[in-house]
Amino acid sequence: MEISNQTSVSDFLLLGFSAHPEQQPLLFGLFLGMYLVTVLGNLLIIMAIVSDQHLHTPMYFFLANLSFVDTCFTCTIVPKVLANILKQCHAISYTGCLVQMYFFMALTLLDDFLLAVMAYDRYVAICLPLHYTTIMCPQRCLLLVTASWLCSHLLASSLTLLMSQFSFCASHAIPHFFCDLLPLLKLACSDTQIFQVMMFAEAALSGVVPLTCVLVSYAHIIHTILRIPSVGGKHKVFSTCGSHLSVVTLFYGTLFLVYFQPSSTYSAEIGMVASVVYTMVTPMLNPFIYSLRNRDMKGALRHAICWD
């Protein structure tokens, strides 16, 4: 009986929002609008940074990388969601599912590392301004970004390789709108204990460590800001750092809600709502958060749009 309930998987069914067919047109319009705004907004950020010589600094170099990652991240998830809603075909191949899961993990981890790098950059700029150009030299900036890319893809590939070894039970229906880790684990008939240990270890490495870096950096930054006598100076620094803190809070809050729990207690409904936030809402808000509260970025965007 146990053998007959385990099958060689050719495809999965992404159930997603199929339980509410009357909401499909609304969801399609909403997700399509968010997708277009995300891609356009992040590409405008990249274009503005590349075209404006004044923005060729470490902070904007990291921001351009973050915008590129957010664009790729959204393109990994949302087009398939839109196609499923439009065609009412929820199938995804086994290989396609693993590929989507791999890029989802790699780009999420990369976001983690880049947010930590950006926090460190702000710490050096505000707390050690006289040493900023020495510490954040172009070679070190490139090294930090390259290390972030390599680490994220290495961690994602290890979990994807382990997942590919699992046997899955007769039901291949995933109660989610993309191939996420925890919903797939719920379908596995194999022993997933080693995988879960590795997943929590990687979550600690790629989640807790970068978050600690962010919190420590901003603790030093706030301490330094409070010693600035000028009210205008405090406002300028808080404006620059506040945008980054907003992104960090939204991103890490939803990730911790979903992934820092055993697979046995995973709730599909909560997981889908939280996933919408960090796969669609956060990448869409990032360009607005970073541009609307930044005078240099607003000027560069105006220049780039008028030039085009």
Identify which of 278, 253, 248 has the alpha carbon closest to the alpha carbon of residue 119. 248
Q: Please state whether beta strands 11-14 and 173-174 pair in parallel, antiparallel, or not at all (unpaired).
A: parallel
**b/e per residue 11-40 (b: at least 16 CB within 10 A):** ebbbbbbbeeeeebeebbeebbebbebbbe
Dihedral sign for Cα atoms in the order 67, 151, 180, 197: negative
User: Where residue 48 falls among pLDDT bands split at 50, 70, 90?
Assistant: confident
Amino acid in position 19 = A
| Overall average pLDDT of the 238-243 stretch | 69
Dihedral over alpha carbons 91, 158, 207, 101 (to 10 degrees): -10
pLDDT by residue (tens digit) across 242-263? Answer: 777 777 888 787 777 776 666 5
pLDDT at 137 over 80: yes
Q: How far apart are CA 187 and CA 185, in angstroms?
A: 5
Q: Would you say 167 and 159 are in contact if contact means Cβ atoms under 8 Å apart?
A: no
Confidence (pLDDT) at 33: 94
pLDDT by residue (tens digit) across 167-216? Answer: 877 678 888 889 988 888 888 887 778 888 888 888 778 878 888 998 89
